[in-house]
Structure 1
Amino acid sequence: MNPQLSFSLQLSATPRAARLARLLTVEQLRSWGVPFEDAAQLVELCANAITHGRVPGRDFRLDISVDASRAVRIEVVDPRGDVPVGEPRRGLAIVEALSDRWGSTPGPAPRKVVWAELKC
């Protein structure tokens, strides 16, 4: 995906940060004129990063991009390098249901990137 619009934010790994990430995602997508309802739900990845990818004292990063075809990509970089395997947990089940594609990749050590894409 070649992003035309992008937004990045580093947040502390707290429950309040997941809510803030969702609110900021809505406002950013709204300012770009992109439908935001389903994309905002994909920010569930932030809640997963806080719950399952948390390492004390380390933040996570939210990256949002929109390409020329208006596809939205949401990436969450968390400090745990282990990639999710097996049956999706509740949060990832939501991501799987709402996104067109999603997955995870190793990030800069020791991190991982969990991403989801949605065509608007």
Structure 2
Amino acid sequence: MHRRSSQQHRLLSPAATPSTEFAMAFTSTPRGARLTRLFVSHCLNVWGHPYDCRVNETLTLITAELCANAVTHGRVPGREFHVRLAAEKDGEGLRVEVSGTRAERRPVVVSPAETDAVSGRGLLLVTALADDWGITDRRAGPGKTMWALLSTVRSSVE
């Protein structure tokens, strides 16, 4: 009986329960975007998706593109952008959100044929890599949130 209660205590301790959410504000600079990419990759590694696995590499690249968009097109001087990384409730996916203050500049995905386009290619990558993505109004205050979902369950054929 004593052994069973000891196991219950261990299972309920905070150290035994891995975090499934990371959220932080970063400066709206290229350095802030780089730090975001590093933090997201580190969190994924801690959550059981090693640095060199498909999930970590793919979601880190998606995060880099969304952050580049926030810094390049959504920057308001003196304002930070916010990043949230979370595991889906079913445990079969991860969601990354990048929120900025500017709401009026919505990104547009260019077609691959528009080779002379100045921007928009990053969202082509997001479209190709994410299982789903979109743009919503920011929940807390002015601005918008760009989000992407990535499945952590794929067939072994891929």
- Of residues 45-54 and 90-99 in structure 1, the stretch that sits farther from structure 2 once superposed is 90-99
Aligned to 1:71: 93
Aligned length: 117
Q: Distance in 2 between matches of 1:30 and 1:54?
A: 29
Aligned to 1:53: 74
The alignment status of 1:104 with 2:135, answered yes or no, reads yes
CA contact (8 A) 2:94 2:151 kept: yes
Q: Distance in 1 between matches of 2:133 and 2:95?
A: 9
Q: Deviations over 1:69-97 (max 9, x none)?
A: 33010000001012625434111111111
- Structure ranking higher in strand proportion: 1
TM-score, L = length of structure 2: 0.69
Which structure has the bigger radius of gyration? 2
Cα gap change, 1:118/1:83 in structure 2, threshold over 3 Å: closer, same or farther?
farther
Counterpart of 1:65 in 2: which secondary structure?
Answer: strand
Structure having greater relative contact order (Cα 8 Å, sep ≥ 6): 1
TM-score, L = length of structure 1: 0.90
Cα gap change, 1:118/1:58 in structure 2, threshold over 3 Å: closer, same or farther?
same
Q: Distance in 1 between matches of 2:37 and 2:58?
A: 11
- Of residues 64-73 and 91-100 in structure 1, the stretch that sits farther from structure 2 once superposed is 64-73
Cα gap change, 1:8/1:15 in structure 2, threshold over 3 Å: closer, same or farther?
same
CA contact (8 A) 1:83 1:104 kept: no
Q: Which residue identity lines up with residue 66 of structure 2 in the other structure?
A: L
Tell me which stretches of 4 or more aligned residues in structure 1 moved more than 4 Å: none
Gaps of 5+ in 1: none
The two structures, once aligned, show a CA RMSD in angstroms of 1.5
Q: Which residue identity lines up with residue 58 of structure 2 in the other structure?
A: D
Map 1:84-99 onto structure 2 (within 5 A).
Answer: 84=106, 86-88=108-110, 89-99=120-130
CA contact (8 A) 1:81 1:109 kept: no
